[in-house]
Amino acid sequence: MTELIDLDKIVIASKNLDKVSIITPFEKINSYSQNYNSNIYFKREDLQKVKSFKIRGAYNKISNLNSFQASNGLVCASAGNHAQGFAVSCKIFGYKGMVFMPKDTPNQKVKQVKKFGGEYIEIVLVGENFSKAYEESIKECDSKNKTFIHPFDDIEVITGQATIFYEIINQIKYDLDYLFIPIGGGGLISGAINVFKQLSPKTRIIGIEPMGAPSMYNSLKENMLVKLDKINRFADGVAVKKVGKLSFNFCKDYLDDIILIDENEICDSILELKTTENIIAEPAGAMSSVALRYYKSKIVNKQVGCIICGGNNDNDRMPEIRKRANEWKINN
């Protein structure tokens, strides 16, 4: 079995993050609870300053660098949310950072990276997906001896993400029966595994991927890391061709289930969250609420947690989201 992170390190990271992140609400959502005849709680990471959980991992990693590691500058590759946390952290510590982002990154995310990083950040838009941006970022590190800040496949990044779940443990009165978590590269769900499998082992952790980017699903099915040939980029926050090695090992040994959901159904959930709870969720942020539909019969009278992991939704995307949601309703 893969060794889990020492809980003391997660506690230290939680205290360290006081400077840049808030303890987000873990609130019961009455409309969803009534609909599913259970107690549904949303962890609202969309309420962070950068509107996603990614600030936790990026800051925890960068705060642990020594002066030599940061001397030539820092580099990251990101579809947007990690880049924002990276930019905030670089500015706080006064480190020069370079961000490689796919060309089709939503404009709102690009603008936010510029705003948070200011003069400390240079943005390079390159390639059609995260994998290409990642390749170019590694070339930059290798050629100029810069330090790469990985968005998910790094134990200190995972430790930062784990602070979300340490907060949840301290926010709930009862043990959770189910916890639904979206999977991109796997850093978020690895954080959940490292906390809940030590402090609440009976909680079933359910991973969720979009049908257009089933990188963890396929890897677990084949019992080895699988790199997808192509992916659907719509759910940009979770659209990766290959998950992290660390995350794969954590999921292989500890994940209770994984499900795939249709991108059009994600759009339906985005509109539902906005209409019923006035929550602005990006596609990745709406995925855990979609998963409730797949588990409806299993979660009756249960305590259920969902992670609203991000709210960086570009208004320019709303016509497409409405169109996709209508298509899903017509076909279902």
Residue 138's φ and ψ, nearest 5 degrees, are: -65, -40
Whose tokens are 């759910």? That residue is 235
pLDDT truncated to tens, each residue of the chain (332 aa)? 999 999 999 999 999 999 899 999 999 999 999 999 999 999 999 999 999 999 999 999 999 999 899 999 999 998 789 999 999 999 999 999 999 998 888 888 888 999 999 999 999 999 887 788 889 999 999 999 999 999 999 999 999 999 999 999 999 988 999 999 999 999 999 999 999 999 999 999 999 999 999 999 999 999 999 999 999 989 988 999 999 999 999 999 999 999 999 999 999 999 999 999 999 999 999 999 999 999 999 999 999 999 999 998 888 899 999 999 999 999 98
Burial class (CB in 10 A: 0-12, 13-18, 19+), 242: buried
Whose tokens are 């699988």? That residue is 226
The C-alpha atoms of residue 219 and residue 242 are separated, in whole angstroms, by 9
Amino acid of residue 21: S
CATH of domain 54-148: 3.40.50.1100
Q: CB neighbours of 141 closer than 8 A, spacing ≥ 6?
A: 75, 147, 148
Token duo for residue 257 = 């289930």
Instruction: Give the DSSP letter of residue 52.
Output: B
Identify whether the C-beta of residue 253 lies closer than 8 Å to the C-beta of residue 2: yes
Tell me the CA distances in angstroms from 159 to 9, 260, 291, one per residue in order. Answer: 7, 26, 25
The C-alpha atoms of residue 258 and residue 238 are separated, in whole angstroms, by 14
Identify whether the C-beta of residue 248 lies closer than 8 Å to the C-beta of residue 274: no
Residues listed for the chain: 332
Structural domain boundaries in the chain: 7-52+154-331, 54-148
Between 3.40.50.150, 3.30.300.10, 2.120.10.80, 3.40.50.1100, what CATH number should domain 7-52+154-331 receive? 3.40.50.1100
Burial class (CB in 10 A: 0-12, 13-18, 19+), 308: buried
Token duo for residue 314 = 């570009």
